[in-house]
Structure 1
């Protein structure tokens, strides 16, 4: 009898759950930035302007929380300094060290202009905010796309999918956040219908992108699609995470389609918003964490068990708590200092 032993070395994952939180929050931030840029030019009392307060609050919270997750993913916050002391312009991470602080400053400046009621300042910042948001969208997607060792990531479809799912999550977060705004700043039924239409539009684009990605794989233009099929058939760890993300996303988008007459129900918008955000988060979990259980080369599996401490479950709960705290502080400030921001009624 011949006995063959297969030994699988233990590898640490390259991306911790902190990365999932960062890419989720930065996607929400860019989606909110695009929406506030449009809403800033809405006529007084219009549905678009009624969406401005909730879009600004979403932008402020996600912009502040995203860098916290990024610094935590670097393991040592002082490591962030190395990007400036040893700048390497050919690295997307190094470029991001410049682009992200610029985005944070511009986004918070826009939020401050809204708070102070400076409409001209807001509109003047819109071109900078749009350019900065698009630069973050490109840089965050390119960080994955350039990794050739993972054919699934090494494709232009990855940054496009990350962008669209992030913007869909922004719609979901707004549906959750709007219920905590003061009554005078909450979007009315017509504004919520506009937000729903935006969500459906983004979901439609996402479906077209997925179909185009599949078609490019069938035609042999995209090795990424064939790699996804291989992973799905050979590795249960990828199959479970991807199936869960896809099914959950389809259910939530279906609820969005049927929600025209239910958006006035606060419970429905809360569940729908949480569902949209969770679907986008689950997609990132499958993309970042699920794939890391699959070997880059050779046979076997990379064994990974999510820790319960700061690099795992506790860290994710901490980021969620930070977002809740930021929303609570912002809504408290809006209640206490109502004269500091423009009325939209």
Structure 2
């Protein structure tokens, strides 16, 4: 009875499905920026990089909406965002922004696959704008909740975006090994440069959050300090985060040639992806265990069914299935296949 009074068990508002959605949609949005870079640079030696990025974009942008629908508890609930559109709600705006982003992702991949380079450049710019809207809406819909001081900071969407950038590099290193040429075909100096830009930016964001909190005593920083000083579990999370950040920076600072090594690149990919996923797990699931009022931490045990472990494994299986299908298509029908075949047919007719 005393335990129930001090740490009552409340149902969580965000299920583990949300972690998968924010993780996957962040990877998709971040990869859009790398794709636009490739489109504008138009360097033939980056073709393998383009292929791997397209695989990352398609797999993550197609799997992310499935996680979102599952987190809504009732998939039909998604329809209410259109039947009762409320433009002042970030979730309602997301119901428009997400399908648009998914469609642009598919259109972008098709234009690249058919070797419509000029169209691909234009669609890549449109995709970047759409990706920015996704990063803003996903961060803002969490940041605006003043009842959760840890979420109520502008640095949250910034950190979501930057950690997604690192995760996209990890996904790139992971998927590239299943494509023609493998890791050897990737310009690892470029990949390393992208990763370092995200890593340093994330370090700067964390430092600015601390400085801003010490100067202005914002609610997010104050709540974090209180948790760190009160609960050993949060102390461990903080120390593990610092250690993880140092490990990531050391891996990114290592020579680019090491990323061509299959084992090293696999470890780097797992570390980058895991760091981004764990960050979202802490933000959503662990923070929901912090009481809005009262003492102690709320008790939460992850269910083993569809709302918990099995749901997470289901999303993982879906992503693996998408990777298998997309990489197979890109392997057996490389970019420009249909255009080449059409040109050959026309030449035969002549």
TM-score, with normalisation over the residues of structure 2? 0.91
Question: Does 2:318 align with 1:319?
Answer: no
Q: CA deviation at 1:129?
A: 0.8
Tell me, in whole angstroms, the C-alpha distance in 2 between the residues paired with 1:83 and 1:91.
10
Question: Does 2:340 align with 1:340?
Answer: no
Report what 1:123 is aligned to: 121
Q: CA deviation at 1:336?
A: 2.3
Of 47, 68, 72 in structure 2, the residue corresponding to residue 70 of structure 1 is 68
Tell me, in whole angstroms, the C-alpha distance in 2 between the residues paired with 1:10 and 1:4.
10
Report what 1:25 is aligned to: 24
Tell me, in whole angstroms, the C-alpha distance in 1 between the residues paired with 2:135 and 2:189.
26
Report what 2:161 is aligned to: 163
Q: Deviations over 1:257-276 (max 9, x none)?
A: 22434122111111101110
Report what 2:290 is aligned to: 294
Which consecutive unaligned segments of at least 5 residues does structure 1 have?
A: none
Report what 2:54 is aligned to: 56
Tell me, in whole angstroms, the C-alpha distance in 1 between the residues paired with 2:75 and 2:5.
39
Pairing 1:1-345 to 2, within 5 Å after superposition? 6-47=5-46, 49-183=47-181, 186=182, 188=184, 191-338=187-334, 340=337
Pick closer, same or farther for the CA change 1:340–1:150 going to 2, 3 Å.
same
Aligned length: 338
Task: Name the SS of the counterpart of 1:78 in structure 2.
Answer: helix
Pick closer, same or farther for the CA change 1:76–1:259 going to 2, 3 Å.
farther
Tell me, in whole angstroms, the C-alpha distance in 2 between the residues paired with 1:110 and 1:62.
14
**Cα RMSD over matched residues?**
2.0
Tell me, in whole angstroms, the C-alpha distance in 2 between the residues paired with 1:57 and 1:4.
49
Q: Deviations over 1:75-118 (max 9, x none)?
A: 11001001011111111000000100000001110011111111
Q: Is the 8 A contact 2:30 2:165 kept in 1?
A: yes
Tell me, in whole angstroms, the C-alpha distance in 2 between the residues paired with 1:342 and 1:253.
42
Tell me, in whole angstroms, the C-alpha distance in 2 between the residues paired with 1:34 and 1:202.
12
Tell me, in whole angstroms, the C-alpha distance in 1 between the residues paired with 2:325 and 2:333.
12
Q: Is the 8 A contact 1:306 1:312 kept in 2?
A: yes
Q: Is the 8 A contact 1:242 1:286 kept in 2?
A: no
Task: Name the SS of the counterpart of 2:60 in structure 1.
Answer: helix
Tell me, in whole angstroms, the C-alpha distance in 2 between the residues paired with 1:5 and 1:277.
37
Tell me, in whole angstroms, the C-alpha distance in 2 between the residues paired with 1:4 and 1:102.
47
Tell me, in whole angstroms, the C-alpha distance in 1 between the residues paired with 2:154 and 2:313.
32
Q: CA deviation at 1:45?
A: 2.1
Pick closer, same or farther for the CA change 1:5–1:297 going to 2, 3 Å.
closer
Q: Per residue, is there more helix in 1 or in 2?
A: 2
Which consecutive unaligned segments of at least 5 residues does structure 2 have?
A: 341-350
Q: Is the 8 A contact 2:6 2:295 kept in 1?
A: no
Q: Deviations over 1:300-340 (max 9, x none)?
A: 32110011111111111111111111111111112222352
Task: Name the SS of the counterpart of 1:88 in structure 2.
Answer: coil
Report what 2:346 is aligned to: none
Task: Name the SS of the counterpart of 1:46 in structure 2.
Answer: helix
Pick closer, same or farther for the CA change 1:131–1:112 going to 2, 3 Å.
same
